């Protein structure tokens, strides 16, 4: 267990009304009291805030005017003594306070070390700790709701329930094997093992069934806007982002590179990529953009394919449709305010079952229908962040898949009539995989790696 006291700036660097420097550790209150001119912080009640000034002990100069919050262990985030110093927002002020703390006994915290201490001290489990970063990075209300549910322990509760069911089953079988007082003990143990492994398997399968939605909420839906030059791709990006992110002109080939932007569509984060128009070109700069556009297609979960209502379908359009044939895509027929030259029946024939939406982006028409089409493709009415437990973290998803596979091995062994002590190996393996999700069986190196991805000061 850590015994030193750590400090870090917990607010983004830059100009603002307030910045916060956080101290955590056994000596946090003593260190803060040493440099604080106001009430004696070692004597104040827990969870109180006090006005005063930070004094540099080396010079005796007043460094900053602050409000200091004092919180005694164990009723804190880290279950250690915590002091949070609220100072004026600005690089000079907050760094000066931090420097004085580091000169008076505190150590600079590593990235994620406050949350790591909360985990090591039993305040939260590993899945809840990871949800802290999900909460910080959430780009929509639904993504934030999923992160909050996980931070409050909804996923942890389910995982612990599954592990307890497996543990009780293994223990019950062990007792029956060690004390075979009745002839039907083996048959009873066999039936119980079959029932419990099937129950936990079905529960894990249910969690994994909505994992795709959870992952999209957490990481965003990689969405590429493609089409020939000057069909309205940049206008579509601007319309979805509700601001001018891309330059829009009548000149084909204006977008020379890939432009990325996160947008909120019906509570779902879209990592929207406006690509350079895909066409044959001799312009070296535009050619690089076209090559990057083709690469963006391979990495996308969804394609928004834009056509011009005012132009006939070209060989390039047909070639693009063939290129994205196996992907999820929506066809957007833009510029419906202009005279029709596009054969809609031919487009419908080529698109098959894929959604087609007509828009006039210059008049802001059709955006609602497009957002509805995107939500329908990936969520089909199943998305309800408030009532469901979503697995959104790829590490959790992979461990659940491994746990499901181990249970399927156990169930297959039971079907073949294998001895129960052999079956228990796979059941125990499942229990360990589930334990890695909440940190009960996770290695120290994995824990260090996960927390190293956190913000400094969190």
Nearest to 168 by CA among 193, 203, 199: 193
Q: Rounded to whole angstroms, what are the CA distances from 388 to 93, 221, 427?
A: 44, 20, 26
Does the pLDDT at position 257 exceed 60? no
Does the pLDDT at position 452 exceed 90? no
Nearest to 21 by CA among 315, 456, 453: 456
Distance CA 328, CA 180 (A): 57
CB count within 10 Å of CB 194 equals 15
- pLDDT digits 0-9 by tens, 151-165: 888 889 999 999 999
Higher pLDDT, 178 or 129: 129
Does the pLDDT at position 178 exceed 70? no
Nearest to 402 by CA among 394, 312, 444: 394
Does the pLDDT at position 183 exceed 80? no
CB count within 10 Å of CB 362 equals 15
Q: If 0-12 CB within 10 Å is exposed, 13-18 middle and 19+ buried, where does residue 408 land?
A: middle
Does the pLDDT at position 219 exceed 60? yes
Beta pairing class for 107-108 and 6-9: parallel
Ordered by start, the domain boundaries in the chain are: 6-124, 129-210+391-439, 221-379
Is residue 407 within 8 Å of 425, Cβ to Cβ? no
**pLDDT value for 243:** 53
Where is average pLDDT lowest: 25-34, 138-147, 192-201, 310-319? 138-147
Q: pTM here? A: 0.69
Average pLDDT across the chain, whole number = 81
Nearest to 256 by CA among 280, 283, 226, 222: 283
Does the pLDDT at position 428 exceed 50? yes
For the chain, what is the total number of helices (H) and then of strands (E)? 16, 13
- pLDDT digits 0-9 by tens, 306-335: 898 898 988 888 877 887 777 788 999 999
Does the pLDDT at position 391 exceed 90? no
Distance CA 240, CA 270 (A): 10
Higher pLDDT, 388 or 434: 434
Give the CATH class of 129-210+391-439: mainly alpha
Q: What is the mean pLDDT of residues 364-375?
A: 85
* CATH of 221-379 among 3.40.50.300, 3.90.79.10, 3.40.1360.10, 3.40.50.720: 3.40.50.300
Nearest to 377 by CA among 317, 301, 307: 301
Instruction: Name the β-bridge partners of 306.
Output: 332
**pLDDT value for 167:** 87
Does the pLDDT at position 221 exceed 90? no
- pLDDT digits 0-9 by tens, 347-359: 888 888 888 999 9
For 256, half-sphere exposure in the C-beta direction (CA atoms, 13 angstrom radius) is 5
Does the pLDDT at position 72 exceed 80? yes
Element of type H or E holding 42:
none
Question: What percentage of the chain carries pLDDT values higher than 70?
Answer: 82
Q: Does the 6-124 domain belong in CATH 3.40.50.720?
A: no
Q: Rounded to whole angstroms, what are the CA distances from 103 to 96, 112, 222?
A: 11, 22, 46
Long-range contacts of 254-263 (CB under 8 A, 24+ apart): 254/229, 254/230, 255/229, 255/289, 256/285, 256/286, 256/288, 256/289, 257/288, 257/289, 257/292, 258/289, 258/292, 258/293, 258/296, 259/234, 261/237, 262/139, 262/220
Is residue 378 within 8 Å of 220, Cβ to Cβ? no
CA 249 to chain centre: 36
**pLDDT value for 181:** 56
Where is average pLDDT lowest: 100-109, 187-196, 287-296? 287-296
Higher pLDDT, 76 or 223: 76
């Amino acid at each position: 267990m850590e015994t030193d006291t750590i400090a870090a700036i917990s607010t983004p660097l830059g100009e603002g009304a307030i910045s916060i420097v956080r101290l955590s550790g056994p000596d946090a209150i003593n260190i803060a009291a040493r440099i604080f001119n106001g009430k004696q912080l070692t004597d104040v009640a827990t969870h109180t805030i006090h006005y005063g000034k930070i004094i540099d002990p080396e010079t005796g100069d007043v460094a900053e005017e602050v409000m200091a919050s004092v919180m005694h262990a164990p009723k804190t985030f880290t279950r250690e003594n915590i002091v949070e110093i609220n100072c004026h927002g600005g690089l000079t002020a907050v760094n000066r306070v931090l420097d004085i703390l580091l000169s008076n006994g505190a150590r600079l915290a590593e990235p994620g070390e406050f949350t790591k201490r909360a985990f090591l001290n039993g305040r939260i489990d590993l899945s809840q700790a990871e949800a802290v970063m999900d909460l910080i990075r959430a780009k929509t209300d639904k993504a934030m709701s999923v992160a909050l549910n996980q931070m409050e322990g909804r996923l942890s509760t389910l995982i612990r329930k599954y592990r307890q069911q497996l543990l009780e089953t293994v223990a019950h079988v062990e007792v029956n094997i060690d004390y075979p007082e009745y002839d039907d003990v083996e048959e009873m143990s066999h039936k119980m093992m079959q029932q419990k492994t099937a129950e936990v398997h079905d529960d894990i399968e249910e969690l994994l069934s909505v994992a795709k939605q959870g992952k999209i909420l957490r990481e965003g839906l990689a969405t590429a806007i493609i089409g020939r030059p000057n069909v309205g791709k940049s206008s579509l990006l601007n319309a979805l982002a509700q601001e001018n992110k891309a330059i829009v002109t009548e000149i084909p080939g204006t977008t020379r590179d890939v432009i990325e932007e996160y947008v909120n569509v019906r509570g779902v984060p879209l990592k929207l990529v406006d690509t350079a128009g895909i066409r044959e070109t001799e312009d070296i700069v535009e050619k690089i953009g076209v090559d990057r556009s083709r690469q963006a297609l391979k990495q996308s979960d969804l394609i928004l394919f834009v056509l011009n209502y005012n132009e006939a379908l070209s060989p390039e359009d047909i070639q693009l449709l063939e290129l994205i044939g196996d992907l999820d895509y929506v066809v957007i027929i833009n510029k419906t305010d202009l005279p029709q030259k596009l054969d809609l029946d031919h487009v419908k024939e080529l698109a098959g079952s894929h959604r087609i939406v007509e828009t006039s982006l210059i008049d802001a028409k059709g955006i609602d229908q497009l957002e509805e089409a995107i939500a329908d493709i990936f969520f089909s009415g199943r998305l309800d962040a408030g009532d469901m437990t979503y697995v959104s973290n790829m590490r959790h998803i992979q461990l659940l898949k491994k746990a499901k596979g181990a249970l399927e091995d156990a169930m297959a062994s039971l079907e073949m009539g294998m001895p129960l002590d052999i079956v228990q190996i796979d059941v125990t393996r499942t229990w360990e995989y589930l334990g890695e999700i909440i940190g009960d069986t996770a290695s120290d190196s994995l824990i260090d790696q996960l927390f190293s991805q956190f913000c400094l000061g969190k």
